[in-house]
């Protein structure tokens, strides 16, 4: 048929039709007209120019945001403020197959509490792994406040690899914070609770309820937290809040603030004033100072006992060993932030309009000289405010969190009640600039702002309320992250980014070029354990193994078929389908969904993923590829047939829907021969150029060679059937031969285009 041939040739020659899409001109509209029509000012245009990123452009920074009670981590680019990925961490997420494939279920199972699956998390504070106080772009840590846990995300593939459960706490807010060489990751408790899982009446709050801060040991080589080498400081039942690790001058120490050091227990329903009243009655709370370096030495020396199977440094031991001190801080604070040099520490209290700047040298002196104003009810020495304070600066109403600029002494503090950012100088103690935000800012974020060399440039205001900033979307509003240019003397608001899912608390941003994520896995890879999967399957080696009612299917996926296409099991069988993605091409992901079985895999190139389920009921269960992967994606399908127990098949043949003749076969072969000519010309082009200098092309050629190999196999089958006069099978195999040719050509053309667009040289 004419159309068919036109299509084939046209496809394989890569011809464009008619007008030449690449050169499509744009009409000369006036910029002024557009600005007028859209009501943009010159200032808006400048902001647009500072954020707009044309197709294919790259962002300078990559931001990693907690997703709050969504349980995810959110990745976005700065300055484009485009969200690039939600990473499933504590909450199952089917697009990624997270919590759906056996491999990721094993990660989530690490986070079980009292044997129970927890199906969400409340992520708060992400932290990058560090080397010498610089972000090294290798790992990201994030906490779950609701169910005190910590997760490790590998920035090689943006996947969650590990979840650990805190052995003592019943909530955590002050995590994650990494020490300067990621020796440890800090996690502080929030709401005091007994360390045991037993019932303890609130009447025993002061005696039996406890806070704490855990230092999780991190193995930088293995990329995993080591519970057996981690330790926890027992702390009073104050509500510990955020932490920060000391750096440079204060290296080896950690800082953790707190609220409700009144140890007040509410009970509005029984006539007691509520928590909010009793927890904000005193004018100060306590900053906790812990010496993790010396503590680690004690642990190594075998001097720390284990409780709940984990090292616990009791308050008595900590005080005795000089590991733990308190300093008064402004009441109900949120955020303690150590400056890049490590010699100043800034704390703001939400109910105090001042930021308090502490001097680390002064604190060290007090500790060295044993100069304390007293002890708290648990015997912990308290350093007097006057012996620790550098200065107090009035920054605004409801100050929360401070980030450091590249310029020395310059910081930015989020001001919740006043809905603004205050830029100020903590050395001289003066306010430099203020900018309104929209509305009610929580944390803020500067580029590499937690590292020893902050970059400045941009600030992001993490606003808790958006109210009227965006088109309305019902009673539940998006959050609003506002991008601010801080390169000049005055802050300039650039962009409002709505957060469409989740309620971020804190974000960290890293130079984009520090990240080198992979685009494919080694073939047959378990991405969660980072080892070769025991279920890895190569093309042609697909098989089904049965042991009693346990069935393992070793399958593969590739454009555009799943092998096997028909799976037969019996009612009651326990079925595991292991699928390996044979593709090497970037972005050639396949999915795998099945009717009514909660099966949904995301199988990136090279990955092996497993769907396990019980075939409870006899019936017919279609399955298919869920990632639109090729022109024949919809035809990438199959059937699971679950037979009743003891079912006896009748000896019937498959009914064919269509019959093909020799003429059909000849027509298909003619097409295929023409197609092969085109492939040959593409191959000639590629091999006559220095294609081996282009890794992308090498990968495409690898894939194309595979596909061509499959084409040859299909061709052989077609010819064998034709020789036997079976034109039904001959035609179908000839069709499949052509399908493989088309994929070969598609890959070849992509490679050819890449070479042309990237200045490949003719070599022969």
What part of residues 461-520 is at the interface with a second copy (CB under 8 A)? 464-478, 482, 488-493, 496-498, 500-503, 505, 512, 515, 517-520
How far apart CA 322 and CA 75 sit, in angstroms, is 41
Asked whether the beta carbons of 231 and 299 are under 8 A apart, the reply is yes
CB of 580 to a second copy, least distance (A): 14
- Quick check: 414 binds a second copy (CB under 8 A)? no
Q: Which is nearer to a second copy, 123 or 179 (CB)?
A: 123
Asked whether the beta carbons of 135 and 448 are under 8 A apart, the reply is yes
Q: Which is nearer to a second copy, 195 or 292 (CB)?
A: 195
Residue written as token pair 């440890």: 184
CB of 277 to a second copy, least distance (A): 4
CB of 706 to a second copy, least distance (A): 15
- Quick check: 746 binds a second copy (CB under 8 A)? yes
CB of 557 to a second copy, least distance (A): 12
Q: Which is nearer to a second copy, 301 or 654 (CB)?
A: 654
Q: Which of 627, 682, 707, 747 binds a second copy (CB under 8 A)?
A: 627
What residues contact residue 64 under an 8 Å CB cut-off, 6+ apart? Answer: 73, 74, 75, 126, 128, 140, 507, 508, 509, 510
Q: What is the 3-state secondary structure (H, E, C) of 481-538?
A: EEEEECCCCCCEEEEEEEECCCCCCCEEEEEHHHCCCCCCCCCCEECCCCEECCCCCC
Q: Quote the tokens at residue 208.
A: 């039996």
Q: Which is nearer to a second copy, 360 or 737 (CB)?
A: 737
CB of 299 to a second copy, least distance (A): 27
CB of 408 to a second copy, least distance (A): 21
Q: Which is nearer to a second copy, 183 or 570 (CB)?
A: 570
Size of site (CB under 8 A) for a second copy: 259
Q: Which stretch binds a second copy (CB under 8 A): 78-86, 130-138, 336-344, 364-372?
A: 78-86
Q: Quote the tokens at residue 285.
A: 């709370």
Q: Which is nearer to a second copy, 299 or 393 (CB)?
A: 393
Site for a second copy in 330-389 (CB under 8 A): 330, 332, 334, 350-354
Q: Quote the tokens at residue 688.
A: 């006559």
Q: Which stretch binds a second copy (CB under 8 A): 216-224, 308-316, 318-326, 584-592?
A: 584-592
DSSP secondary structure string for all residues of 49-112: HHH---TT---SEEEEEE-BTT-EEEEEEETT--EEEEEESSS-BGGGTBTTSHHHHHHHHTT-
Site for a second copy in 86-145 (CB under 8 A): 86, 91-96, 100, 113-114, 116, 118-120, 122, 145
CB of 711 to a second copy, least distance (A): 12
- Quick check: 577 binds a second copy (CB under 8 A)? no
- Quick check: 54 binds a second copy (CB under 8 A)? yes
Strand partners, 346: 337, 357
Site for a second copy in 180-219 (CB under 8 A): 190-191, 193-194, 197-207, 209
Site for a second copy in 667-706 (CB under 8 A): none
Site for a second copy in 213-272 (CB under 8 A): 239, 241, 259-270, 272
Q: Which of 135, 139, 253, 621 binds a second copy (CB under 8 A)?
A: 621
CB of 684 to a second copy, least distance (A): 22
Asked whether the beta carbons of 625 and 636 are under 8 A apart, the reply is yes
CA angle 306, 313, 293 (to 5 degrees): 115
Taking the CA atoms of 111, 114, 116 and 121 in sequence, report the sign of the dihedral they define.
negative
Query: 68's torsion region: left (phi>0), alpha (psi -120 to 50) or beta?
Result: left
DSSP state of 210: B
Q: Which H or E run contains 699?
A: helix 695-723
Q: Which is nearer to a second copy, 372 or 470 (CB)?
A: 470
How far apart CA 597 and CA 612 sit, in angstroms, is 9
Site for a second copy in 638-667 (CB under 8 A): 638-639, 641-644, 647, 649-650, 652-658, 660, 664
CB of 369 to a second copy, least distance (A): 28
Q: Which stretch binds a second copy (CB under 8 A): 20-28, 222-230, 246-254, 529-537?
A: 20-28
Asked whether the beta carbons of 111 and 118 are under 8 A apart, the reply is yes
3-state secondary structure of 674: helix
């Amino acid at each position: 048929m004419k159309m068919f041939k036109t299509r084939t040739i046209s496809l394989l020659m890569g011809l464009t039709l008619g007008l030449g899409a690449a050169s499509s001109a744009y009409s000369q509209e006036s910029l002024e007209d557009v600005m007028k029509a859209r009501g943009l000012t010159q200032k808006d245009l400048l902001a647009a120019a500072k954020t707009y990123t044309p197709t294919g452009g790259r962002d300078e920074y990559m931001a990693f945001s907690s997703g709050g009670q969504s349980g995810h981590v959110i990745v976005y680019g700065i300055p484009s403020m485009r969200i690039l990925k939600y990473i499933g961490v504590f909450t199952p997420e089917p697009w990624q197959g997270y919590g759906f494939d056996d491999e990721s279920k094993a990660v989530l199972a690490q986070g079980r509490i009292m044997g129970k699956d927890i199906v969400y998390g409340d992520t708060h504070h992400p932290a990058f792994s560090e080397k010498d106080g610089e972000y090294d772009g290798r790992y990201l840590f994030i906490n779950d406040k609701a169910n005190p846990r910590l997760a490790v995300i590998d920035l090689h593939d943006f996947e969650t690899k590990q979840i650990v459960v805190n052995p003592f706490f019943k909530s955590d807010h002050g995590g994650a914070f990494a020490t300067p060489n990621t020796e440890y990751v800090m996690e502080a408790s929030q709401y005091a609770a007994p360390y045991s899982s037993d019932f303890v009446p609130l009447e025993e709050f002061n005696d039996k309820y406890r806070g704490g801060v855990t230092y999780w040991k991190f193995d930088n080589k293995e990329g995993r937290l080591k519970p057996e080498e981690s330790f926890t400081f027992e702390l009073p039942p104050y509500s510990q809040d955020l932490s920060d690790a000391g750096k440079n001058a204060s290296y080896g120490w950690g800082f953790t603030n707190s609220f409700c050091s009144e140890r007040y227990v509410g009970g509005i329903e029984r006539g007691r004033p509520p928590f909010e009243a009793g927890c904000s009655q005193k004018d100060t709370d306590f900053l906790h100072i812990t010496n993790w370096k010396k503590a680690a030495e004690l642990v190594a020396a075998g001097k720390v006992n284990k409780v709940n199977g984990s090292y616990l440094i009791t308050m008595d031991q900590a005080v005795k060993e000089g590991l733990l001190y308190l300093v008064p801080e402004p009441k109900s604070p949120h955020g303690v932030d150590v400056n890049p040099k490590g010699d100043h520490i800034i704390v703001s209290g939400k109910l105090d309009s001042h930021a308090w700047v502490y001097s680390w040298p002064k604190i060290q002196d007090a500790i060295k000289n044993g100069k304390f104003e007293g002890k708290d009810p648990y015997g912990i020495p308290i350093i007097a405010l006057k012996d620790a304070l550098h200065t107090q600066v009035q920054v605004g109403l409801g100050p929360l969190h401070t980030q450091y600029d590249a310029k020395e002494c310059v910081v930015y503090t989020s001001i919740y009640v006043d809905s603004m950012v205050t830029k100020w100088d903590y050395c001289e103690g003066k306010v430099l600039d203020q900018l309104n935000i929209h509305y009610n800012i929580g944390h803020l974020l500067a580029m590499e702002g937690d590292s020893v060399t902050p970059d400045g440039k941009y600030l992001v205001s993490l606003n808790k309320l958006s109210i009227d900033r965006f088109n309305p979307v019902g009673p539940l509003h998006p959050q609003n992250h506002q991008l601010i240019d801080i390169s000049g003397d005055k802050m300039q608001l650039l962009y409002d980014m709505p957060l469409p899912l989740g309620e971020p608390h804190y974000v960290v941003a890293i130079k984009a070029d520090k990240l080198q994520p992979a685009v494919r896995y080694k073939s047959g890879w378990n991405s969660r354990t980072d080892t070769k999967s025991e279920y890895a399957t190569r093309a042609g080696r697909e098989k089904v193994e049965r042991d009693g009612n346990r069935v393992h299917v070793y399958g593969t996926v590739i454009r555009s078929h799943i092998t096997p296409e028909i799976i037969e099991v019996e009612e009651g069988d326990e079925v595991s389908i292991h699928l390996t993605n044979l593709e090497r091409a970037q972005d050639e992901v396949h999915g795998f969904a099945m009717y009514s079985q909660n099966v949904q895999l995301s199988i990136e190139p090279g990955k092996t993923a497993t769907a396990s389920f019980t075939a409870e009921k006899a019936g017919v269960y279609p399955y298919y590829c869920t990632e639109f992967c090729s022109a024949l994606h919809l035809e990438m399908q199959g059937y699971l047939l679950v037979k009743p127990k003891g079912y006896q098949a009748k000896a019937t043949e498959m009914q064919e829907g269509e019959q093909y003749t020799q003429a059909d076969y000849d027509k298909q072969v003619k097409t295929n021969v023409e197609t092969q000519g085109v492939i040959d010309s593409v191959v000639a082009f590629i091999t006559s150029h220095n294609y081996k200098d282009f890794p992308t092309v090498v990968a495409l050629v690898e894939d194309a060679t595979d596909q061509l190999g499959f084409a040859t196999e299909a061709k052989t089958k077609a010819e064998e059937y034709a020789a036997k006069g079976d034109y039904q099978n001959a035609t179908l195999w000839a069709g499949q031969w052509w399908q493989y040719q088309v994929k070969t050509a598609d890959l070849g053309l992509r490679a050819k285009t890449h070479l042309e667009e990237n200045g490949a040289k003719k070599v022969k």
